[in-house]
Amino acid sequence: MAQRSDIRFVLNGKDVSVGNVRADQTLLDYIRLDRRLTGTKEGCAEGDCGACTVLVGRLAEDGLSYIPVNACIRFLASVDGCHVVTVEHLSGPGGRLHPVQQAMVEHHGTQCGFCTPGFVMSLYALWMAVPEPTETQVETALQGNLCRCTGYEPIIKAAVAVSQYGSPTADYLNTERDAITARLKALQGGVRVVTGPADNLCILPSDVDDFAECLLEYPEATIVAGATDVGLWVTKFLRNIGPAIFIGHLNGLKSVSKQGDSLVIGAGASYTECQDLMAEHLPHLGPYWDRIAGWQVRNMGTIGGNIANGSPIGDTPPVLIALGAEITLRRGATRRNLLLQDYFIDYGKQDRQPGEFVESIHVPLPQAGDLNAAYKISKRRDEDISSVAVGINVTVIDGVITGCRIAFGGMAATPKRAIQAEQALIGRVWSQQVFEAAAAALSGDFAPLTDWRASSDYRMLSAQNLLRRFYLEHDAATTAPIQLASA
Amino acid sequence: MKQTVSISGAAHTDRIHDSAIKHVTGEADYTDDIPLPAGALHAYLGVSDVAHATLKGIDLSEVLKAPGVVGVLTADDVPGINDISPTGLHDEPVFPTDAIQFHGQPLFAVVAETREAARRAAELAKVNYEVLPHALDPVSAQNAGYPHVTAPLKLERGDVEPALDAATNRIKGRMEVGGQDHMYLEGHIAAAIPGEDDDIVVHCSTQHPSEAQHMVAHVMGVPSNAVVVNVRRMGGGFGGKESQMNLFCAVAAMAAKKWNRAVKIRPDRDQDMTATGKRHDFVIDYDVAFDDAGRIQAVDGIFAARCGFSADLSGPVTDRALFHADNAYFYPNVRLNSRPMKTNTVSNTAFRGFGGPQGVIAAERIIEEIAYATGQDPLDVRKANFYGGKGRDVTPYHQEVEDNILDRLVEELEETSAYRKRREEIIAYNKTSPVLKKGIALTPVKFGISFTATWYNQAGALVHVYNDGSIHLNHGGTEMGQGLNTKVAQVVAEAFQVDFERIKITKTTTEKVPNTSATAASSGTDLNGMAALNAVEQIKERLVAFAAEKWDIDANDVEFLPNQVRVGNEVLPFDTFIKEAYMARVQLSAAGFYKTPKIHWDRTKGQGRPFYYFAYGAACSEVTIDTLTGEYRIERTDILHDVGHSLNPVLDKGQVEGAFIQGMGWLTTEELWWDDAGRLRTHAPSTYKIPLASDRPREFNVKLADWSENRELTIKRSKAVGEPPFMLGISVFEALSMAVASVADYQTCPRLEAPATPERVLMAVSRLKVEG
According to the model, what pLDDT value does residue A487 have? Answer: 58
The mean pLDDT of chain B is 97
Interchain CB contact of B725 with A (< 8 Å)? no
pLDDT, mean of residues B562-570: 97
HSE, CB side, 13 Å, CA atoms: give it for residue A117.
Answer: 34
Q: Indicate if the alpha-carbon torsion angle B290, B294, B296, B302 is positive or negative.
A: positive
Return averaged pLDDT per consecutive 10 residues of chain A, 487 residues in all.
92 97 98 98 98 96 94 98 97 90 98 98 98 97 98 98 96 95 91 96 97 97 97 96 97 96 97 96 96 97 95 94 98 98 96 97 96 98 97 98 98 97 98 98 98 98 98 95 83
CATH homologous superfamily for A99-170?
[2Fe-2S]-binding domain (1.10.150.120)
pLDDT, mean of residues B362-380: 98
Distance from CA of B425 to the nearest CA of A (A): 16
The DSSP symbol for B281 reads P
What are the residue ranges of CATH 1.10.150.120 in chain A?
99-170
Instruction: For domain A258-364, give the CATH number.
Output: 3.30.465.10
* The pLDDT of residue B631 is above 80: yes
Q: Which of B723, B734, B759, B771 is catalytic?
A: B723
Taking one residue from A and the other from B, the number of pairs with CB-CB distance under 8 angstroms is 264
CB contact under 8 Å between A151 and B659, yes or no, is yes
A-chain residues within 8 Å CB-CB of B484? none
Q: How many CB atoms are closer than 10 A to CB B636?
A: 17
For chain B positions 411-440, those within 8 Å of chain A (CB to CB) are: 432-436
Q: For residue A131, say if its preceding peptide bond is cis, omega within 30 degrees of 0.
A: no
What is this model's ipTM? 0.97
According to the model, what pLDDT value does residue B4 have? Answer: 56
Cβ atoms B364, B381 nearer than 8 A? no
Helix (H) or strand (E) holding B130: strand B126-131
Pick the CATH number of B377-451+605-771 from 3.40.630.30, 3.40.50.1100, 3.30.1510.10, 3.30.365.10: 3.30.365.10
How far is B440 from B751, CA to CA, in rounded Å?
A: 16
Interchain CB contact of B492 with A (< 8 Å)? no
How confident is the model over B434-452, as pLDDT tens digits?
999 999 999 999 999 999 9
Distance from CA of B678 to the nearest CA of A (A): 13
* The pLDDT of residue B764 is above 70: yes
What are the residue ranges of CATH 3.30.465.10 in chain A?
258-364
Instruction: For domain A370-474, give the CATH number.
Output: 3.30.390.50
CB contact under 8 Å between A154 and B657, yes or no, is yes
User: Pairing mode, if any, of strands B632-641 and A6-11?
Assistant: unpaired
Q: Which of B137, B552, B506 is nearest to B339 (CA)?
A: B137
**Residue B723 known to be catalytic:** yes
How confident is the model over B263-279, as pLDDT tens digits?
999 999 999 999 999 99
B-chain residues within 8 Å CB-CB of A110? 17, 19-20, 23-24, 481
**Main-chain phi, psi angles of B672, to 5 degrees:** -95, 130
According to the model, what pLDDT value does residue A190 have? Answer: 85
Q: Which residues of B309-345 are buried (b: 16+ CB within 10 A; e: fewer)?
A: bbbbbbbbbbbbbbbbbbbbbbbbbbbbbbbbbbbbb
H-state helical runs in B456-523:
484-496
Distance from CA of A333 to the nearest CA of B (A): 38
Mutation target for A interface from B234, B485, B519, B628: give the one with most A CBs within 10 A: B628
According to the model, what pLDDT value does residue A88 have? Answer: 97
* The pLDDT of residue B2 is above 60: no
Distance from CA of B624 to the nearest CA of A (A): 8
How far is B311 from B341, CA to CA, in rounded Å?
A: 9
Interchain CB contact of B619 with A (< 8 Å)? no
Interchain CB contact of B124 with A (< 8 Å)? no
Interchain CB contact of B21 with A (< 8 Å)? yes
Distance from CA of B25 to the nearest CA of A (A): 6
How confident is the model over B58-76, as pLDDT tens digits?
999 999 999 999 999 999 9
Cross-strand pairs, A3: A192
The domain made up of B20-27+458-595 has a fold known as: Aldehyde Oxidoreductase; domain 4 (3.30.365)
Interchain CB contact of B61 with A (< 8 Å)? no
Report residue B455 CA to chain centroid gap. Answer: 18
Instruction: Name which of B23, B662, B766 is nearest A148 (Cβ-Cβ).
Output: B662
Q: Which of B212, B722, B716 is nearest to B488 (CA)?
A: B716
Q: Which of B741, B751, B759 is nearest to B630 (CA)?
A: B759
How far is B669 from B691, CA to CA, in rounded Å?
A: 7
The domain made up of A3-88+176-246 has a fold known as: Ubiquitin-like (UB roll) (3.10.20)
Please return the burial class of A240, using the count of CB atoms within 10 Å of its CB with bins 0-12, 13-18 and 19+: middle
Q: Indicate if the alpha-carbon torsion angle A125, A126, A127, A128 is positive or negative.
A: positive
How far is A285 from B343, CA to CA, in rounded Å?
A: 46
Pick the CATH number of B37-133+182-275 from 3.30.420.40, 3.40.50.300, 3.30.365.10, 3.40.50.360: 3.30.365.10
How confident is the model over B644-694, as pLDDT tens digits?
999 999 999 999 999 999 999 999 999 999 999 999 999 999 999 999 999
Q: Which of B181, B125, B193 is nearest to A452 (CA)?
A: B181
- Residues ≥6 apart with Cβ < 8 Å to B418: none
Instruction: Name which of A91, A110, A384 is nearest B23 (Cβ-Cβ).
Output: A110
A-chain residues within 8 Å CB-CB of B624? 484
A-chain residues within 8 Å CB-CB of B183? 146, 148
* The pLDDT of residue B3 is above 70: no
According to the model, what pLDDT value does residue B1 have? Answer: 45
Instruction: Name which of A36, A97, A138 is nearest B24 (Cβ-Cβ).
Output: A97
**Domain boundaries in chain B?**
20-27+458-595, 37-133+182-275, 377-451+605-771
Instruction: Name which of B123, B432, B626 is nearest A238 (Cβ-Cβ).
Output: B123
State whether residue B761 is helix, strand or coil.
helix
Interchain CB contact of B27 with A (< 8 Å)? yes
How confident is the model over B492-527, as pLDDT tens digits?
999 999 999 999 999 999 999 999 999 999 999 999
CB contact under 8 Å between B650 and A143, yes or no, is no
Instruction: Name which of A97, A152, A383 is nearest B21 (Cβ-Cβ).
Output: A97
What are the residue ranges of CATH 3.10.20.30 in chain A?
3-88+176-246
Mutation target for B interface from A49, A100, A112, A464: give the one with most B CBs within 10 A: A112
What are the residue ranges of CATH 3.30.390.50 in chain A?
370-474
How far is B237 from B520, CA to CA, in rounded Å?
A: 9
